[in-house]
């Protein structure tokens, strides 16, 4: 890309060298006129083409900015084609009363509209439709000024002298307005945009000076196409091309969205001032008696038409403005509602955090005496006792273990640790849970049998939390079996469709592997052991893992706990050796 930019720059420099050499070495002739006109067309075409890639690569406001710049230079190129058509194709001078002069006058309007976009600044909340209408108001206003001051001396009462004077004066005012806008943008922009605006300012000032010098030479009958007076004009044309070529190397970027509508309000005020200024022009057209009556009537008619057109635009703009206000009002109401909901959520979160801290503190305080109670009850069971005393000691040990389980669940609730997801082998995890519960079921004199699938039951989840679920449910089943007077607990694990299913049954009956989803029983009577905080915490853990826990008691009194967890699609070789926390290695089936 840089290679093409250098080549393009070299061609432009060579074109300028030809213009300077022709002005110095060639006398006033048709060849010199044709050479100068053609090179100026090439330079302006180059300037137009150089801005088009920027528009194609950009989006939104920046794309409109580059498009307006290309349109402004393109109108200047069209005017130069008209000029070349007369001087080269028709071999005659351009008429003093030339209808194409309006193209030259209007080519600055898109350039000013591009600056009004302020692509160097943060985009405000001012509505896009309102901004476009403000641009249209200013565009119509400039056309109105041209029609008011120039057109009457071209068509109503043709007068080349007054026509040229008014055209040059109005064109000078327009260029000064553009220069002021460039200076304001330069001071308000950052480093990358400053370079762009500085180059535009330099090219515009060079063009303005060349126009002033050319008009001076024309007034002294010393100007001809291709003379030294055209050299600054060609330099300004080439400068615009170089801006388009080299800005591609370090393209500035637009600002981020901002909530400030100050620029949009200023632009709206300019549009309103332009609309109301028509009243002053109408008064001037009616009271100025120094101009012929036909021109005065034409100006009054032109002002009336402009007022009608701009009045319609102001009406439409007001409707859009009202709609914009309603949209902003609705947005403000939604923001207030969202803020209230957020405040309520923060309050609830603070309450839950306080509750968690309280629960954690209480649970830690209870842990020490419960541990001591459990230790003493185990020691008591090892001493010689009567059958009645032994039964009471066993109940004491059962309730101590249950209380410890509840405290562990309280601590788990208080910590609220995030889930660490990884591939876990549920079969190994279940065997480890059975082994960890061995001391409990041996003390309770409960027979535990397992029927665990040989293949891997891979699930996605936190191995510590899933191990807690397995230990908790096995412990609750052991306590329930002991309370029911039963002597066995059966643990089965298998795959059913896309789920790993673990069923834990109390009593001597087996478990039907094809049981449907189970429903919980009433949390009363001898099944109260299944309704405590332990299984409630397990429900929460399984919900995080997209699983489900349910239990039921059939007509024969057999209580069955069912755990369902979705099977993971991960390959078995991607699992670590055991899928368990450090220090918890799988054991053989009980």
Q: In the prediction, which pLDDT does 419 show? A: 58
Question: What is the rounded average pLDDT for all residues in the chain?
Answer: 80
β-strands 499-506, 548-553: how paired? unpaired
- Secondary structure class of 392 (helix, strand, coil): helix
Q: In the prediction, which pLDDT does 183 show? A: 94
Percentage of residues in the chain having pLDDT higher than 70: 81
CA distance 15 to 233: 13
Quote the strand ranges of 203-287, DSSP E. Answer: none
Question: Would you say 22 and 32 are in contact if contact means Cβ atoms under 8 Å apart?
Answer: yes
**Mean pLDDT within 260-285:** 71
CB under 8 Å to 424, separation ≥6 — which residues?
458, 459, 460, 461, 462, 463, 466, 575, 579, 580
Has residue 77 got a pLDDT over 60?
yes
Q: In the prediction, which pLDDT does 588 show? A: 38
Q: In the prediction, which pLDDT does 266 show? A: 60
543, containing H or E segment: helix 533-544
Task: Report angle CA 219, 224, 227 to the nearest 5 degrees.
Answer: 115
Give the tokens for residue 6.
Answer: 């250098």
CA distance 485 to 558: 11
Q: In the prediction, which pLDDT does 98 show? A: 92
Give the tokens for residue 408.
Answer: 């562990």
CA distance 464 to 581: 6
- For helices 30-57 and 60-84, what crossing angle results, to 10°? 170
Question: Would you say 12 and 203 are in contact if contact means Cβ atoms under 8 Å apart?
Answer: no
Give the tokens for residue 85.
Answer: 């058509």
- Per residue in 402-457, pLDDT (tens digit) is 777 677 666 665 665 555 678 888 888 888 888 878 877 777 778 888 888 777 78
Query: Which carries the bigger pLDDT value, residue 281 or residue 262?
Result: 281
Q: Where are the domains of the chain?
A: 2-124+160-254, 419-574
Question: Would you say 546 and 480 are in contact if contact means Cβ atoms under 8 Å apart?
Answer: no
Q: Which of 528, 20, 33, 538 is nearest to 228 (CA)?
A: 20
DSSP 317: H
- Per residue in 131-145, pLDDT (tens digit) is 677 778 888 899 999
Q: In the prediction, which pLDDT does 515 show? A: 40
Helix then strand then coil, in percent of the chain rounded to 5, is: 70, 10, 25
Query: Which carries the bigger pLDDT value, residue 255 or residue 415?
Result: 415
Query: Which carries the bigger pLDDT value, residue 567 or residue 74?
Result: 74
Question: Would you say 210 and 17 are in contact if contact means Cβ atoms under 8 Å apart?
Answer: no
CA distance 301 to 148: 10
138, containing H or E segment: helix 128-149
From first CA to last CA, the distance across the chain in angstroms is: 75
Question: Would you say 469 and 432 are in contact if contact means Cβ atoms under 8 Å apart?
Answer: no
**Mean pLDDT within 473-489:** 79
106-110, 188-192, 458-462, range with the lowest pLDDT: 188-192
Prediction pTM value:
0.58
- Distance of alpha carbon 15 from the chain centroid: 46
Residue found under tokens 């080269």 = 88
Dihedral over Cα of 118, 121, 126, 129: its sign: positive
Q: In the prediction, which pLDDT does 581 show? A: 39
By the 10 Å C-beta count (0-12 exposed, 13-18 middle, 19+ buried), 359 is classed as middle
In sequence order, what DSSP letters do the residues of 167-201 get, joined into one string? Answer: HHHHHHHHHHHHHHHHHHHHHHS-HHHHHHHHHHH
Neighbours of 472 (CB within 10 A): 25
**Mean pLDDT within 544-551:** 86
β-strands 447-452, 488-496: how paired? parallel
**Mean pLDDT within 344-368:** 74
Neighbours of 24 (CB within 10 A): 10
**Mean pLDDT within 163-177:** 92
- Per residue in 510-540, pLDDT (tens digit) is 444 334 333 444 333 334 344 444 677 788 7
Give the tokens for residue 362.
Answer: 């209480």
Query: Which carries the bigger pLDDT value, residue 127 or residue 336?
Result: 336
The CATH number of the structural domain formed by 419-574 is 3.30.565.10
CA distance 550 to 8: 78
Q: In the prediction, which pLDDT does 410 show? A: 65
- Per residue in 209-222, pLDDT (tens digit) is 998 888 888 888 88
CA distance 567 to 549: 15
Query: Which carries the bigger pLDDT value, residue 320 or residue 46?
Result: 46
Question: Would you say 55 and 245 are in contact if contact means Cβ atoms under 8 Å apart?
Answer: no
Q: Which of 502, 499, 503, 517 is nearest to 458 (CA)?
A: 499
Has residue 495 got a pLDDT over 50?
yes
Q: In the prediction, which pLDDT does 82 show? A: 95
DSSP 150: T
Q: In the prediction, which pLDDT does 285 show? A: 82
CA distance 318 to 272: 11
- Per residue in 287-315, pLDDT (tens digit) is 888 889 999 999 999 999 998 988 888 88
- Per residue in 171-216, pLDDT (tens digit) is 999 999 999 999 998 998 877 788 899 999 999 999 999 988 888 8
- For helices 231-246 and 2-25, what crossing angle results, to 10°? 180
């Amino acid at each position: 890309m840089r290679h093409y930019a250098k080549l393009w720059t070299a061609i432009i420099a060579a074109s300028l060298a030809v213009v300077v050499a022709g002005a110095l070495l060639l006398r006033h002739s048709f060849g010199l006129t044709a050479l100068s006109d053609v090179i100026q067309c090439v330079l302006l075409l180059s300037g137009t083409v150089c801005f088009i890639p920027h528009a194609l690569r950009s989006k939104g406001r920046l794309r409109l900015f580059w498009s307006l710049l290309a349109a402004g230079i393109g109108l200047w190129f069209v005017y130069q084609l008209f000029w070349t058509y007369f001087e080269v194709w028709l071999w005659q001078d351009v008429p003093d009363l030339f209808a194409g002069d309006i193209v030259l006058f209007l080519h600055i309007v898109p350039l000013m509209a591009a600056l009004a976009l302020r692509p160097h600044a943060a985009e405000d909340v001012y509505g896009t439709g309102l901004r476009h209408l403000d641009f249209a108001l200013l565009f119509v206003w400039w056309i109105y000024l041209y029609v008011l001051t120039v057109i009457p001396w071209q068509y109503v009462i043709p007068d080349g002298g007054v026509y040229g004077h008014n055209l040059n004066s109005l064109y000078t005012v327009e260029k000064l307005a553009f220069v002021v806008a460039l200076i304001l943008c330069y001071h308000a922009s950052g480093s990358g945009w400053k370079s762009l605006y500085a180059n535009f300012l330099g090219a515009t000032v060079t063009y303005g000076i060349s126009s002033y010098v050319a008009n001076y030479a024309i007034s002294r009958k010393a100007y001809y196409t291709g003379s030294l007076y055209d050299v600054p004009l060609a330099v300004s044309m080439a400068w615009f091309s170089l801006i388009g070529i080299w800005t591609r190397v370090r393209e500035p970027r637009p600002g981020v969205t901002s909530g400030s509508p100050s620029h949009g309000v200023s632009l709206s005020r300019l549009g309103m001032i332009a609309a109301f200024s028509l009243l002053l022009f109408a008064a001037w057209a009616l009271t100025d008696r120094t101009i012929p009556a036909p021109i005065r009537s034409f100006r009054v008619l032109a002002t009336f038409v402009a007022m009608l057109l701009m009045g319609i635009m102001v009406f439409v703009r007001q409707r859009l403005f009202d709609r914009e206000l309603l949209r902003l009002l609705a947005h403000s109401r939604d923001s207030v509602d969202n803020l209230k909901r957020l405040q309520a959520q923060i309050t609830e979160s603070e309450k839950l955090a306080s509750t968690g801290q309280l629960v954690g503190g209480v649970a830690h305080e209870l842990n020490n005496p419960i541990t001591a109670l459990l230790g003493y009850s185990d020691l008591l069971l090892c001493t010689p006792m009567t059958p009645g005393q032994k039964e009471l000691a066993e109940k004491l040990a059962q309730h101590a273990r249950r209380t410890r389980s509840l405290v562990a669940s309280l601590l788990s609730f208080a910590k609220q640790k995030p889930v660490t997801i990884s591939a876990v082998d549920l079969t190994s995890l279940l065997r480890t849970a059975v082994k960890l519960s061995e001391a409990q079921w041996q003390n309770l004199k409960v027979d535990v049998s397992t029927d665990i699938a040989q293949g891997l039951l891979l699930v996605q989840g936190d191995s510590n939390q899933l191990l807690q679920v397995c230990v908790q449910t096995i412990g609750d089943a052991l306590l329930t079996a002991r309370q029911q007077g039963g002597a066995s607990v059966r643990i089965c694990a298998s795959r059913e469709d896309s789920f790993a299913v673990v069923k834990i049954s109390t009593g001597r009956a087996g478990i039907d592997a094809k049981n449907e989803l189970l429903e919980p029983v009433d949390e009363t009577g001898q099944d109260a052991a299944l309704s405590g905080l332990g299984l409630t915490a397990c429900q929460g853990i399984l919900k995080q893992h997209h699983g489900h826990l349910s239990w039921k008691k059939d007509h024969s009194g057999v209580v069955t706990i069912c755990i369902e967890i979705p099977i993971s699609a991960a390959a078995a070789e991607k699992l670590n050796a055991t899928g368990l926390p450090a220090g918890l290695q799988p054991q053989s089936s009980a």
